[in-house]
Amino acid sequence: MGEVRVEQRGRVVLATLVNPPHALMDAGIVDGLESLVDRAESDAGVGAVVLTGEHAERFIAHYEVRELLDGARSGPSVSPRVAKGSLRVAGALRRVPAAQRTLARTPAAGLVAIERFHEILLRMNRCGAVFLAALNGSAMGGGCELALACDVRIMADGPYLIGQPEILLGFPPGGGGTQRLARLLGRARALRLVLDGGPLGPAEAVEIGLVDELAAPDRLIDRALALAARLGSRQKTAIGACKRAVYDGGSLPLPAGLRVERAEFLAALGTHQAQVAMQAYLDAFDATGQLPLYDSATRERTLETGLFGAELDGP
């Protein structure tokens, strides 16, 4: 069973995915990810999470195929329509602890597992902490899908691969790969990638926007931690609002997406932190007669602290 080892550095949690010898995604890794998201949601001292792998050449290889095959063999073959209905039922029952324990001992265990994995990744997308994937090596299948659920992806520059090879085993991606790729890259490019099944190298991944930037292997973690510290210094309420507006609202028709943005804006506007920052901004304007964030020194200080006026609390 794999595990997720965590170490807190300031407001950043460095989470290392551990499952020797092959760095497979399995139930143990999923357990660790769920605990990690619980902590990121509930701990005010966690502003960002950096995910990386322990394996010398892999972030996460892919999901444990043995688990998938065992799940497939334990239940009947069904149509997509029946599968959708079964997943809805499993998703509802997963919220009932007693039902969870019962389902885990039945052929429906696979339904519960996939619903749980998707729920964890969606919680990452809606969480008030920033998630960064520091891809220290290859990330295929479930490893790629985990990286896609992160807000930022930094990849080590080297002989590594990232992609969705599921079609080569006779099935499509099942951990969000088709949906997040389509939203990130556009439908045509996403479809080409999942139909082919061939992976991309780091330079190709950056070129098409699958990965945000490359780093030398020996600088990867330092770069990821530095960026995580910067982004994680913003207020968690505002981070979560931005993420939900982009991830949830950005996939809706424009009028509906705009309503999501307005709702997040109004909710965040009423928080104590936002009101303190706005008052500090107005105080600075009244004192100087100049718009504070148009002053380069003030702007840079604010980008570093994450909230206007926060530097006024320092020495």
Which residue in the block uniquely carries the two structure tokens 């998201």? Answer: 37
Clarify whether 166 is annotated catalytic. yes
**Of 64, 115, 166, 264, which one is the catalytic site residue?**
166
**Of 41, 145, 300, 304, which one is the catalytic site residue?**
145
Clarify whether 145 is annotated catalytic. yes
Which residue in the block uniquely carries the two structure tokens 């840079």? Answer: 300
Report the distance separating Cα 94 and Cα 110, nearest Å. Answer: 12
Active site residues: 145, 166
